[in-house]
Structure formats: structure tokens, C-alpha cells
Chain A
Amino acid sequence: MDGLITVEHLHKSYRISKRGKGIPGMLANLVAPKYEKKDAVKDISFQIAEGEMVGFIGPNGAGKSTTIKMLSGILYPDSGQILVDGKVPYRQRKQYVGNIGVVFGQKSQLQWDLPVIDSFELLKAIYRIPDQTYKRNLARFTEMLDMQEFLKQPVRQLSLGQRMRADIVAALLHDPKIVFFDEPTIGVDVVGKETIRTFIRELNAQDQITMLFTTHDMQDIEKTCKRLLIIDQGNKVYDGALSGIREMYGTTRTLDLELQTEVQVAPIPHVTISRPDDSNPRKWQLQFDHHAVSVQELMGFLLATYPVRDLNISEPEIESIIRNIYGGRQSE
């Protein structure tokens, strides 16, 4: 696969100051500070093809932001290669950044005291955006994100959701080929999040813009991305289709059973049986790995053996699967 973005064996470490506890620690630090090396990104490789939309997730401190900053040319990697659109981001900065857009959900690039439109005008001059392109993009994006009402308001008066929408538009005015989103929905309310997701999805579909997307909200990923990249402690843990992650890690099925009478459910091989609700002795919960136990056979057995009133099988939520992946690694 020939990627628009190619990352190979990326590594980056930081030196952090280590401080002792209490007043003795403070005095020791004043005299002889101690440092320790921390690997933010250990060894990460991946490729992203043109037009792809990739969700990039991991727990706090996993190295997501560091990776995004290296991809966008802000940080120099310690070792490894990055090639985006035929350019090395940190070496050919000026040529490179004209083709990308970056949204940092936690750091606005808008002028705090000025109306939104003033920041856009400034960006027009910075990116040398032709009049026509600017007008077209501005009209299109403000329409899509429903921004007319607050375009002339100072940024400091906007709600977080409004500000975030304006920030997203700010990163897109110059028609970037690639956009990096770092937590674009953080702190935004449910409706706002939905607006942003729809916008990102449409933009990817219509303009073939390549996108990499970090978030803590799994809903963001489920509703926008087909492909998922998971990193943890500086290493890549998973890279593949969103559906694939269920196949790999989410093989547990939960069967909720309600019987017509108070009958004891007898043990079944490879199935964990429990009572989810103490006050209702007719309710049972069965958990099993769907590779080890055939769903069809189990259901047939249950229906034939017990007076079943209701029965429901559920797959695990993607969120809990991811939590399990992190949890599993952390307890290693």
C-alpha cells in the first residue's frame, strides 16, 4: 500500500525533572536536580492512504499528541522516518504546512478579543488564500456548521461548542489535503458533538480529505472512522478496521435470560452463569466466548430446556473493549 502518510519506527523521548517529596526533597532539588528519560513514543509505524479517515486513540500519556506534533512538523523525532505527501514535515516546514490543517481542541488559534471573522481574515493573509477560494470555503463551512449568527462576535463571548466549530473552520480555510484533529470534541455538549461529527464525515466523503483524529470519546470514532489506530505507552497496540477490533478483543457475548417460572439454570460447559438482579429470581445472565460456544446451539438448548419468556444477546460496547485493552496492558 502506498501511503499518503508513512511513518516508520518513530521514536521520541523527553527528559523530565524528578522531584523528591517534602522539604528535604525540595532542598535536594535546589542543589542537584535529577532528571529521568521518558519515552513518549517508543516505536510506531503505520501508513495512511489518501482520503482515509483514521481514529487515533489511547489512554492519557500514550503518545498521541506527541505523534500528531511530529506528523505536523512541530517536533523533531529522535529517530525514525515520517513522510507525508512526499515531504519530511520537520525539515520542509514552510512548504509542508500549507497543505495541512491542525485542530487542537484544547488550544484555540482564534484571536481571543476579536470577532471570529477577523481571525479568518488574518488566516486568509497568512495562507495566501485566493479571494474566490476564501469566499467559497467560508460560505460553505459557515453554512454546514451553522455559524452565521456568531461570525461577528468576539471569540471570548462564544460557547465552547461555537468556538470549536470556528476553530475547525479556521483549520480548513486554505483547502488542506490532510487534517489532524486533536480532541476536536473535548468539552462540547452532545448536540455540538453530533454537529462536528457530521461535518467531519461529510467533508471526508465530499472532498477526500485525509484525516487523523484523536479523541477520548469512542462515539466520535464509531460515528466517523472506519479504521482505528490504538497506541498505549508509546507502542502501537492495534491497527485495523473498527469492526475487526470486536473480532479480536470483543469475543465475549452476554445472554440475558428471563424465565416464566423460578427455575434454577444448571451449569453449562464454557458458560458463566450469574443472577444480575437479586430481587428477580427469574432473571439470569450467561456469558461466553462465541468462538468456544455456538450461539445457535446454546439458544436451542435453552429454549428446549427452560420456560423462556425473553432472551437477548448483546455484543460488548467498543468502549469497554478498548478499556479492556488498556487495562490488560497496564496490568502486565
Chain B
Amino acid sequence: MNLKPYIAYARKSFLMRSAYRFDHIMQILSTCLQIFIYWEIYRSLYGSSIEVDGISFGMVTTNFVLSLGFSAGFYVNDFYLPQKIWDGSLVTELLRPISFRGRMLAENIGNGVFSMLFRFLPAFVIGVVLVGICPPESAAALGLFLVSAALGYGVLWTISFAVQMTAFWLVNIWSIVTIKNVCINILSGSMIPIWFMPEWLRNLIDFTPFSSIYFTPVQIYLGQLSGREIAGKCLLQVVWIVCMYGIGSVLWKRGQRKLVIHGG
């Protein structure tokens, strides 16, 4: 397979993002503020306690810096495909001798690298300076954390990929995308650490892909999981990626058929 056009797409989207300089500075600030708000809240909630349920304040802070930082850096454009369906450009895109899904992924990688460099990294550094985080448990934990974070991004992206496909059938997918994001915000642990959720909710979350996005990498980073558990959780991440991509691809195939009938 010739990778050249895909690299070109990735590079182009990386460069395109730089147009809105002001936007990036504001986004970084916005992420830092959110981290700061949660830090303040939990500082107040912890008061003089050192640990709550075996979780120290430092661990909570680490959870917020990493998961909110990643949510700024993990770039997902939920309207990439819907936009192309609405303006009719998808039909011409499909005629090009390259895989559309490949292109979608390539552009996302370009954007994702940009976001990690210019959104996650600055916010992370400021977060560390401002509120401080725990160091990684070990060098190995750090390495596995990075692997798991990349898989977490894969889960986030494939969920969006599957949701976007509904645009073949719906006039407007804004509502569905919003509801999806509500689920991610609440259930991924980026707004309330999964440790502090009631038991029944934690059990429920185990059956969803949401904890695989940010929480698994964070747990690995903090050394909360044994080697065996790490392998299991990472495998689960892979399973979710395959699942979501599979669902998305089935919808993609069907949607294309619908497009052909309609497009005439």
C-alpha cells in the first residue's frame, strides 16, 4: 500500500491547525483552568484528610491533570464525516483512489500530533507546575502508561468513528454526539474520579468502553495495577478498539450503499 498520500494528508492537517494561534492559547488556558477548578474542589473536599478510601490527594490531582490534559490533546472531530455527507463532497471523495477511512485516520493523526504537542504538552507542564502530580510509579509504569494512553486515544477515536456513521441516516447528529460526549465526560472519570463513584456505577462502567480511555492509563501510571491486571486492561482496550471499529465499519458499508441509492 502506498502511504504517501496519507502522510501528505496528515501533514496538511497538522499545518492547517496552526492557523488559529489565539485559539490554541485560549484552549491551553481553558484546560489549565479546569484542572485548577477540580484541584481547588478536591483540596477543599479533602480538607485535612490525607487519604480517602486509600486514595491520596496527590493521586486525585494526577488523575485530573492526566485525564483533562488528554481530553485536550486527544483530538477527535465528531463532524468530519457528517460534514462531508451534508455538503455532498463525500461522493467525490469516494471516487479517489485512496481509502476514505485511511484518509480520515491520517488527518486525525496529523491533528492529534498537533494537539498533543500544542495543547496537551503545555497544559500538562503548566498543570504540573501549578498543582503538581505524583511521579510515575516506575520507568516501566511510565512506558506502559504511554502505550495504554495511545490505546486510550484509539478507544476514544473509534467510538467517535462509530457514532459519526449514523450521519448516513440522520439529518443532524449533533444530539447524538452531545449525548456521547456526556457519557464520556461522566463515565470516563475525567470529571469525577472513578474511585469515588458508588459501587453500582463502577460495576456498570466495567461493561462500557469509557474507563478504557483515560482511567486505565492513569491507573497504570500510579502503579495501581499488577502486571497481570495491566495486561488484562490493555487487552480490554484493544478489544474495545476492534469492537468500535467493527461496528463503525459495518455501518460505513451500509451507509455507502444508501449513499449510492440516494446520490443517483
Chain A interface residues (CB < 8 Å from chain B): 19, 22-23, 26-27, 29-30, 33
Contacts and interface: CB of A to CB of B under 8 A. Distances in A.
B21 A33 contact: yes
Contacts of B24: 30
Contacts of A19: 19
Pick from B18, B19, B24, B118 the residue with the most CB of A within 10 Å: B18
B15 A30 contact: no
Report whether over half of chain A's contact residues are helix, strand or loop; otherwise say mixed. Answer: helix
A154 to B, nearest CB: 14
Interface string B10-38: 00001100110100100000000000000
A178 B21 CA distance: 42
B213 to A, nearest CB: 28
A26 B15 CA distance: 7
Contacts of B14: 23
A121 B21 CA distance: 43
A24 to B, nearest CB: 11
A29 B19 CA distance: 8
A29 B21 contact: yes
Contacts of B15: 22-23, 26
Contacts of A33: 21
Nearest to A31: B21
Contacts, number: 14
Nearest to B18: A26
Given A29-B18, A30-B21, 12 more contacts: A19-B19, A22-B15, A23-B14, A23-B15, A26-B15, A26-B18, A27-B18, A29-B21, A30-B18, A30-B24, A30-B118, A33-B21
Contacts of A26: 15, 18
A282 to B, nearest CB: 49
Contacts of A30: 18, 21, 24, 118
Interface string B114-137: 000010000000000000000000
14 contacts: A19-B19, A22-B15, A23-B14, A23-B15, A26-B15, A26-B18, A27-B18, A29-B18, A29-B21, A30-B18, A30-B21, A30-B24, A30-B118, A33-B21
Nearest to A30: B21
Contacts of B118: 30
Nearest to B114: A26
A-B CB proximity, top 3 nearest: A26-B18, A30-B21, A26-B15
A21 to B, nearest CB: 10
Interface string B27-51: 0000000000000000000000000
Contacts of B21: 29-30, 33
B14 to A, nearest CB: 8
A79 to B, nearest CB: 30
A30 B24 CA distance: 9
A195 B12 CA distance: 44
Contacts of A23: 14-15
A180 to B, nearest CB: 29
A23 to B, nearest CB: 7
Nearest to B25: A30
Interface in B225-256: none
A26 B117 CA distance: 14
Contacts of A22: 15
Nearest to B22: A33
Nearest to B24: A30
A23 B19 CA distance: 12
Nearest to A26: B18
Contacts of B18: 26-27, 29-30
A29 B24 CA distance: 13
A30 B118 CA distance: 10
B195 to A, nearest CB: 38
Interface in B166-223: none
A248 B154 CA distance: 68
A29 B118 CA distance: 14
Nearest to B118: A30
A23 B24 CA distance: 16
A23 B118 CA distance: 14
A80 to B, nearest CB: 32
B87 to A, nearest CB: 13
B57 to A, nearest CB: 35
Nearest to B17: A26
Contacts of B19: 19
A30 B21 CA distance: 6
A138 B27 CA distance: 50
Nearest to A22: B15
